[in-house]
Structure 1
Amino acid sequence: MENITIKNEFLKVEISPKGAELVSIFKGKENYLWEIDRNFWDKTSPVLFPIIGGLKNDSYEFEGRKYQLPKHGFARECEFEITEKTDDSATFTLKYSEKTLEVYPFEFTLSIQYNIIENKLFIKYIVSNASSKKMYYSIGAHPAFSIDGDFENYSLEFDQSENLISHKLSDNLFSGETKEVALEGKILPSNYSLFEQDAIVLKNSTTSNLTLLKNNVPKLKVSFPDFPFLGIWTKKNAPFICIEPWLGLADSHQSSGKIEEKEGILNLEPGSIQSHEWSVEFF
């Protein structure tokens, strides 16, 4: 299926039906998303659903039965249906199937709405539960923003000066260890050494807006007031940085494996709908 393009006088956004994944975001001639280089990574902005991160033993338990799920779930590999389209907006929808029920026993519908207003892109996740039982899920974003030139010329500006406590990962699971990430005022200077042990994962940050700066000049601002967790990630020498608002977390090495006890997990009553929105402003 062909990619979908939405645009206005400020932005031109391309989205793939596979995973409802953002492929490019142009403001003028500049693409703010990175262009795939498989030597580093084969995604641009995957949607993480119905889990975020890894599961202990790559499995979870629900109602006495074990299920297998890969890291970050299955939505990013699924073909979404295009259910609505205008010049500056598009909605992509994924519904449960026999295949998804084998690994995730809930009758869900996930719609992802992309909407451009002036120089902002709004992304809304709409999750509904058609099951007769309470549904457990996580959802999150993983956009990779382009780095042009020297990585050290970039920095991240937080809402306020605070001591950042990053929760360490080992083998895709939380180890129980933490490290302090020092800000210079509100600024985190970019350095690949920050990511030697995987992502920076913030569970208790008070930030709900994160601005990417180049040479101290704002490039873009990610706003996520309804998302309590944040991941920041890149790979050594990769020309991108990911700013990831999350509603959910990976397992720890001490996790029970029961999905209803999973840290950060959300639940949705039968017949209920929940929406979650974040946005990016481009300068």
Structure 2
Amino acid sequence: MRLIFIGDVVGRSGRKVLYERLPKLRDQLAADFVIVNGENAAGGFGITEEIFRDIRNAGADVVTLGNHAFDQRETLIFIEREPTLLRPLNYPPATPGRGVGLFSTGEGRSVLVMNVMGRLFMDPLDDPFAAMDRELENCPLKQVCDASVIDFHAEATSEKMGAGHFADGRASLVVGTHTHVPTADHQILPHGTAYMTDAGMTGDYNSIIGMDSEEPLIRFTRKLATGRFEPASGEGTLCGVGVEIDDETGLARAIAPIRVGGRLEPVLPSFWLS
């Protein structure tokens, strides 16, 4: 199975490059399943129903969120009727929506996807490790699902790495989101789980993690808030990761970064291009 995960879509620039590039990318790489993190898609803060549908129409099978999940108030309503939109699993039980789902590829294979949020330097939600453990135990690889993916939305690299090793051998992919900078540590862990600390963002990298630099610099240098954070509006880069999953075991055979368009050096998984 070929799986693509795309990192946090930020604002109009991120949406533009995603809509333009993802349909062609999915075809070029013959991807079986695509997951997109969309928690910053609406002006950098949350997601709207219209944007969610546009991301799905561009080729995403599932859209995940994070700490900005409900910044757009309408999400509290429409998330209930959209099973392919996942908010963090470890929100309190009464929170609208769901944090995990079992989905089918076009060929009928099943993919477990969960969105989990870390607690270090983040909102103090329920224990993410207990939440992951529960779902992995309920839906074991090659017994209930053919592949499983964890979007671990967290600030601390140590917590993301902890999640990778915690799920090693039980998940196909553990990938970090939230910090908006693609990391160079894509690897297959000892027991077969593909891992990357951060998939990076899909947006304008001539920015401060996707935001126009003026307001963040004022806050850094003068400790003043003079306005709203606004997404940078230049040319966007689509960032993510591609994973080849073994059909016999559900574990990873190969992992490589994806970067298309914009300012960053382009790269595609070579094992899908030969």
TM-score by length of 2: 0.29
TM-score by length of 1: 0.28
The structure with the larger Rg is 1
Higher relative helix content:
2
